[in-house]
Structure 1
Amino acid sequence: MSFMENLMMALNSLKMHKMRSILTMLGIVIGVGAIIIVVAIGQGGEAMLKSQFTGSGNTIEVFYQPSEEEIRSNPNILLQAPFKQEDIRALEQLPEVKEVVASSTTMSSARYQKDTKDISVTGINQAYLQLNELKIEDGRNLTAADFLSGRRAAIISNKLKEELFKGKNPVGSIMTVANQPIEIIGVLEKPTGILSFGTMEIYLPFQTWKVVYGSSDYTQLTIQAASAEQLQAAGKKAANLLNKLHNTEKSYQVINMEEISQGIGQVTQIMTLIIGSIAGISLFVGGIGVMNIMLVSVTERTREIGIRMALGATRGQVLTQFLIESMTLTLMGGILGIFFGWGTAKIVSLFAGWPSLVSWQVVAGGVVFSMVIGIVFGILPANKASKLDPIESLRYE
């Protein structure tokens, strides 16, 4: 008997017991679907976390950690901005550095008409916009002219628009920040994603920041390497240059965002593996269900098996027939589980605000694994069927 004939017999047998076949496949559908959901959400969450922490490519965060000797000589050193304009100009001269992103952030108060709110104010240089995309919902973004002229213009967050302006469009309005009049030229889009929190903040050109707060120093600094290959060299040279300019040994250091990204990837992969293993238990239970139903099927079809063997069917042919029937059952469940897992992962990612990454390796693995389940858990029933005595089988009622 050919493979196609065995396959058709298997499909006919499943059609004769539709409800039983559907309930049996349900365990495989849930098992395969659960694994695909976990892996897709895990990979999507990993991609989202990496983008949240690392931002654009080839970036290195520079930070200042004063030594104990520096703190003893100046107890207020941690309250002072660690980066000066001269530092920025010096770093821009390094051949490995593409951009130097500098900003200063402080807490302040903003007033519009009679309402006052505590807000976060960030002064940024032009390179900040090139590395950090600020999506505008209303109005426009800051331009090169705004940075050069030091225009008293600001972009505000959506949360500040809701709290201070009661949801009205504030573009063109004048608000007071640290007792200085500032024109609102744009409103940021609402943040999305599971790690996005609405904060009341505004962004000013750094020239404007200097006028408002009387300070020309920066509190945060990030450098972008010219290429991925120059990332480590750029970070090392930047730290050495800053330590030399400030006459310190190792106070200025860098954080390689690529290393953080790899660390995040390792953590999420371990968590995905653990949760995926738990989801795999349901697939194992589904396999036991298949074996149970196939054992019932062998018992029900004892007389049929006896007739086939009396007509010349070999033990191997009977074994093959029931194995193919078991594989067909699990393969159909696996395919349905793939669609179920893919659809559910898309829905979850839609609400969570991160990408759902269903790779072809996972899909192929789901199909192959479901077929293996069919073979492993179908061997016992198929072996039992092949060992039936033809004479005793024909007597079975």
Structure 2
Amino acid sequence: MLENIKLSLQSIWAHKLRSILTMLGVIIGLAAIIAIVSLIEGSSEALKKEIVGGSNNTLELSFATKAEFNSPDGSGTTGNEKMPDYMEAISEAQIDELKAIDGLKNVLVSYNAWGKMYRHNRGVDMDIRAVTPDYFTIYPTKGIKGRQLSQQDYLNNSQRVILNEFAYQSLFPDGDGLMKMVEFNGTPYQVVGVVKLSKAFTNAYGGEDYAMAFVPSGNWPQIQGNIDPQPTISVQAEKTDDLQRVAEEASAILNASLPESDYMYGVYNMGDMDGQIEEFNQAQFYLLGGIASISLLVGGIGVMNIMLVSVTERTREIGIKKALGARRGTILMQFLTEAMVLTLLGGCIGVGAGLGIAAGLTNMMAYPFIVSIPAILGGLAFSLLIGIVFGLVPAIKASKLDPIEALRYE
């Protein structure tokens, strides 16, 4: 066998250009399949992280009806569900209890509202959030003008606000808004800073053209306009795999102190969503993989063609070997091995090219680069199979040559 491999490599090296052109179909087909698999797995992982926990393993707990959690499509709701009579603000004791959950890294409590923020007669629709200092450890921002909210602002519940770029430019087209006053829900706030939100944050909340403002957490009654707080709870897990469990445990702790009602904190089961993502990716793979497989088929036909040519060119060599006592099986294995080595070399080059293409594409699309070992091993095995299937006919033809006729061949 080793002797056959050595002879095969010598033959391939002797006809380098012809061999490379023959391998091209296998190379292109396998490179396409490896790149497709890596790209699909990378996009799937990115989508799961975005849906389940963003880029930092964070999940926002939902406050919805019990029927809605039982049927995420909302089919179980009637529209007449009873809200809690009174919801108390989340206490420090509850936060400490949440932080004791195994696998939980951080917990955030914020109070969100939507409405118009005004500067004189100029109004801008705004997503305003009353936040704690920890908010910006999970959702980091980059200061552009002025300053961030200070510890003193949080302690005193100061009526200070920081705006994102879009909100600032919309309210102050001349860019002179620092230390000026704005008004939201009848309460004045002083603009102390302008920030740039992270790309992941802007993608999750409507893109660059999305106005946001942040005030100290104690201002929640002013921004929500009532004394019945409706907090938004975000939990951050150490690992993505623990996020669902951590969120469910956190929801159970919060629900224990809720007044009797049809509403509860909860998190939708991501298992069904994962299944839907996998089904979608599988459909994509079958479609794109089928197209790429055509290249492998064309490559296999090219291998058969070149091996038939090789048999014809080496007719006298075959005749001499048979005259010296070489068996049919020996000749068959020699040419079959050559076809297998040819396609396996093409497979190895295709795997390398596919990984390179995948790395470039995933980097360009900001997906994680995932190397699929099963796809690589399966691709190499498939390329070997192509060598066997398409090299069998030329090998059988070579083994059946009559030695006398072969020696007469010019």
TM, length-normalised to structure 1: 0.79
Give the alignment of 1:163-312 within 5 angstroms: 172=178, 174=180, 176-178=182-184, 180-189=188-197, 191=199, 197-198=207-208, 199-212=210-223, 214-216=225-227, 217-218=229-230, 220-223=232-235, 228=242, 231=246, 234=249, 237-238=252-253, 240-241=255-256, 245-248=258-261, 250-256=262-268, 258-259=270-271, 262-263=274-275, 266-267=278-279, 269-271=281-283, 273-275=285-287, 277-278=289-290, 279-312=292-325
In terms of mean alpha carbon deviation, does 7-16 or 330-339 score higher? 7-16
Contact 2:65–2:81 (8 Å) recurs in 1: no
| 1:375–1:205 Cα change, 3 Å | farther
In terms of mean alpha carbon deviation, does 340-349 or 297-306 score higher? 297-306
| Distance (whole Å) between structure 2 residues aligned to residue 264 and residue 73 of structure 1 | 30
1:34 is matched with which residue? Answer: 32
2:367 to 326, 338, 354: 354
Letter in 2 for 1:101: L
| Distance (whole Å) between structure 1 residues aligned to residue 85 and residue 276 of structure 2 | 30
Letter in 2 for 1:24: T
* Residue 386 (structure 2) pairs with residue 380 (structure 1): no
| Distance (whole Å) between structure 2 residues aligned to residue 340 and residue 181 of structure 1 | 57
| 1:144–1:160 Cα change, 3 Å | same
2:408 is matched with which residue? Answer: 395
Give the drift of 1:47.
Answer: 1.6
1:64 is matched with which residue? Answer: 64
Give the drift of 1:264.
Answer: 5.5
| Distance (whole Å) between structure 2 residues aligned to residue 10 and residue 302 of structure 1 | 16
Give the drift of 1:28.
Answer: 0.9
| Distance (whole Å) between structure 1 residues aligned to residue 134 and residue 201 of structure 2 | 25
| 1:192–1:33 Cα change, 3 Å | farther
Contact 2:27–2:349 (8 Å) recurs in 1: yes
Give the alignment of 1:99-178 within 5 angstroms: 100-110=107-117, 117-130=124-137, 132-136=138-142, 138=144, 142=149, 144-160=151-167, 172=178, 174=180, 176-178=182-184
Give the alignment of 1:3-14 within 5 angstroms: 3=2, 5-14=3-12
| Distance (whole Å) between structure 2 residues aligned to residue 194 and residue 319 of structure 1 | 64
Give the drift of 1:152.
Answer: 3.6
Question: Which residues of structure 2 form unaligned runs of 5+?
Answer: 68-75
2:71 is matched with which residue? Answer: none
* Residue 346 (structure 2) pairs with residue 333 (structure 1): yes
Give the drift of 1:272.
Answer: 5.1
Aligned to 2:139, the other structure's residue is in SS state coil
| Deviation per residue, 1:77-104 (Å, 9 max, x gap) | 7xx9996415886576466485553333
Give the drift of 1:48.
Answer: 1.0
Letter in 2 for 1:52: E
Give the drift of 1:105.
Answer: 3.1
Give the drift of 1:293.
Answer: 2.2
In terms of mean alpha carbon deviation, does 300-309 or 134-143 score higher? 134-143
| Deviation per residue, 1:5-61 (Å, 9 max, x gap) | 433432332234333322221111111111111111111112211221122548562
| Distance (whole Å) between structure 2 residues aligned to residue 193 and residue 122 of structure 1 | 14
| 1:375–1:153 Cα change, 3 Å | farther
In terms of mean alpha carbon deviation, does 331-340 or 266-275 score higher? 266-275
Aligned residue pair count:
386
TM, length-normalised to structure 2: 0.77
CA RMSD of aligned residues (A): 4.0
Contact 2:181–2:191 (8 Å) recurs in 1: yes
Contact 1:82–1:218 (8 Å) recurs in 2: no
Residue identity (%): 32
Give the drift of 1:316.
Answer: 2.2
| 1:73–1:385 Cα change, 3 Å | closer
